[in-house]
Structure 1
Amino acid sequence: MARRRAVAAVLTAATALSLSVSCGTTSENSGQGGGGAQESECGGPDGKYTIGMSQANVAEPYRQRMDDDIKAAAESVPQFSVEFADAQQDNAKQVSDVENFLTKQIDLLIISPNEATPLTAVVAKAYNKGIPVIVLDRKVDGDAYTTWIGADNVEIGRTAGEYVATTLLPNGGKIGEIRGLAGSTPAKERGDGFREGIEGKDIEIVQSVDGDWLREKGQSQADALFKAHPDIQVLYAHNDPMAEGAYLAAKAAGIEKNLKFIGIDGLPIPSGGLKAVEQGRLSATLIYPTGGAEAVDTAKKLLVDCQDVPKEQTLETELITIDNAATVYNEANS
């Protein structure tokens, strides 16, 4: 059950050797290179701490769930108060949000970057001020942060590709792909991994389009994709909302029964990917844990418990099909 809830961090030996401590770094990093000398100050259990949570875009259900998970976990830590900011998929606004947190002198920053490169410098700025920085889900360039928490998106993409190759298209076929936001690390990694999963098979990705993680854009992009390539057999989307949008486009065209749809996220909510698989709209999804609870636990270790944390914390995932969708949903909500 714990594995299915994806709350365990899987750490490699190399990761375990790279530790960050409670209050950032004294080195001045560009954001492209490694950290320097580490400080070891920690306020301890008697302190009160303000956490700034900079979210990329809460219009995405996954990101709203991430914020909800952070809020719920923080309520059990009496020393914590959390302030949330929504960048609304705007890099400049997210930079401004983080700058605002720094002006308020927050004690720790959690950030899920909209895109990697545009957010790298401001993340490094916070880190170099001695503020612990937890990078959640999406990444920035370099390693000027305290810890990154997320799932292995290359492995997720690879698993999706292998599922398509072995189960949906064992004799080969044609695929359409709806990518996430260009410039966000999961979009590249989920695409790269998927191609690894279908490598050597008689499977062709006939077209890839950008859906920016959004259901509505996924639907419009899929509609054009289906018209341009009526021979597509499988639609691979980088998240469940875009996969659901593609399903709606296919249904409107009367071709949904001719296609298979696969997404990523597997949120355990009525409108999430687990129910979409259980109800037959999606053939499969993959659990992509929000990391919200793990981020708060890490913040507690850094600020309250004065403990070291690993540089990377990789969360477990799971392939969801009709065989296990209901069970995983019920376990996640028990």
Structure 2
Amino acid sequence: MRKTTKSLIAVTCAAAALAAAGCGTTSENTGKVQAQDPTQHCKGPDGKYTIGMSQANLAEPYRVRMDDDIRKAAEKVPQFEVQFSDAAKDNSKQISDVENFLTKQVDLLMISPNEAAPLTDVVKKAYNKGIPVVVLDRKVDGDAYTTYIGADNVQIGRQAGEYFKSTLLPEGGKIVQIKGLSGSTPAAEREKGFKEGIQGSQIEIVATADGEWERSIGQQKMDALLKANPDIKAVYAQNDPMAEGAYLAAQAAGRNDLKFVGIDGLPIPSGGIKAVEDGRLQATNLYPTGGAEAVEAAKKLLIDCQPVDKAQTLQTALVTKENAAEVYARLNQG
């Protein structure tokens, strides 16, 4: 009788595991990536869907714009309700935010991770539960997500580097770099691309500081960089707010000779394109938020019952004084 009972328990546990219900053997618990039909939550146009959007922080204007773009696009899809969370640059809070969305049983998760490694497991957990996952801008490790939407950060960095080499400092010179948050994937990728872009030139990166993607921190770091490196000619900042912060520090130090290049190119009055138009920055590089594309991906998966590409690469462009007004107007059409 004891043997029979044990056998029944074993069979029951095995069946439960196959149904992803537990017993410590599911892919969710072992860390393996479970094969997923990304359209399994699709109920067609008659369904109602809750989407959870986990944002890394709202200290960066870029992330505020991303949420706004998602909100605006979702308003055109009456079947969608989007709930937003702000991790405030805290990995633990973002993990908790995602767990909260899982408890609420959202139909789809959107996430722009604060840092890759700390957020990987909870994103995998969501994916292994069968929830479609749209990763925006910053990546996680591995491939436990439905689609990644973002521009090619290596290409953007290379584009910036080539502008330095061909136009900004064709004779070479010493520069400093202000990076984004070290654990976020764009920081490493934009640095890699930039170094590729300046290869073969006489441009030398003499110092690098982590500005954490924020204007105020970029300003603080630039003040210290200037004191340690008074002979620099230019600044490569990995986003526009840090470039603007560096510009303010240079102005305070009486360094009106320095040149500044950023990334993002937000088409808003306080964004990088206007900073180029006004002459504070020499150039910026467009980095679309992907908000509208994320909502379109959700619509395909949940309403149209169609798969989406594993990676969706958004297009960039170099913005200088010559084309800033045209680009600003084009991006604000409609």
Q: Could you tell me how far 1:38 is from its partner in structure 2?
A: 3.2
Name the residue aligned to 1:111. Answer: 111
Name the residue aligned to 2:297. Answer: 298
1:285 counterpart letter in structure 2: T
Name the residue aligned to 1:329. Answer: 328
Counterpart check, 1:260 vs 2:262: no
Report the secondary structure of 1:309's partner residue.
coil
- The root-mean-square deviation of aligned C-alpha atoms, in Å, is 1.6
Give the ranges of 4+ consecutive aligned residues of structure 1 lying more than 6 Å apart after TM superposition.
29-33
Q: Could you tell me how far 1:333 is from its partner in structure 2?
A: 1.6
Q: Could you tell me how far 1:119 is from its partner in structure 2?
A: 0.2
Name the residue aligned to 1:51. Answer: 51
1:286 counterpart letter in structure 2: N
Q: Could you tell me how far 1:199 is from its partner in structure 2?
A: 1.1
Name the residue aligned to 2:9. Answer: none
More helix by share: 2
Q: 2: distance between equivalents of 1:241 and 1:31?
A: 41
Q: 1: distance between equivalents of 2:146 and 2:31?
A: 14
Name the residue aligned to 1:87. Answer: 87
Task: Flag the 1:268–1:74 CA change in 2: closer, same or farther, 3 A.
Answer: same
Q: Is the CA contact 2:115–2:183 (under 8 Å) kept in the aligned structure 1? A: yes
1:289 counterpart letter in structure 2: P
Q: 2: distance between equivalents of 1:39 and 1:181?
A: 31
Say which structure, 1 or 2, has more relative contact order (CA 8 Å, 6+ apart): 1
Name the residue aligned to 2:239. Answer: 239
Structure with greater Cα Rg: 2
Task: Flag the 1:33–1:157 CA change in 2: closer, same or farther, 3 A.
Answer: farther
Name the residue aligned to 1:124. Answer: 124
Name the residue aligned to 2:201. Answer: 201
Q: Could you tell me how far 1:39 is from its partner in structure 2?
A: 6.0
Q: Could you tell me how far 1:36 is from its partner in structure 2?
A: 2.5
Counterpart check, 1:248 vs 2:242: no
Task: Flag the 1:33–1:243 CA change in 2: closer, same or farther, 3 A.
Answer: farther
Cα deviation per residue 1:221-257 (whole Å; 9 max; x = unaligned)?
00110111011101000000000000000001110x2
Q: Could you tell me how far 1:28 is from its partner in structure 2?
A: 2.3
Q: 1: distance between equivalents of 2:149 and 2:234?
A: 31
Name the residue aligned to 1:36. Answer: 35
User: What TM-score do the two structures reach when normalised by structure 1?
Assistant: 0.90
Q: Could you tell me how far 1:283 is from its partner in structure 2?
A: 0.3
1:317 counterpart letter in structure 2: T
Report the secondary structure of 1:52's partner residue.
strand
Q: Is the CA contact 1:53–1:85 (under 8 Å) kept in the aligned structure 2? A: yes
Name the residue aligned to 2:306. Answer: 307
Q: 1: distance between equivalents of 2:193 and 2:302?
A: 36
Q: Is the CA contact 1:244–1:282 (under 8 Å) kept in the aligned structure 2? A: yes
How many residue pairs are counted as aligned between the two chains? Answer: 309
Structure 1: runs of 5+ lacking an equivalent: 1-25
2:320 counterpart letter in structure 1: T
Name the residue aligned to 2:10. Answer: none
Report the secondary structure of 2:142's partner residue.
coil
Q: Could you tell me how far 1:35 is from its partner in structure 2?
A: 5.3
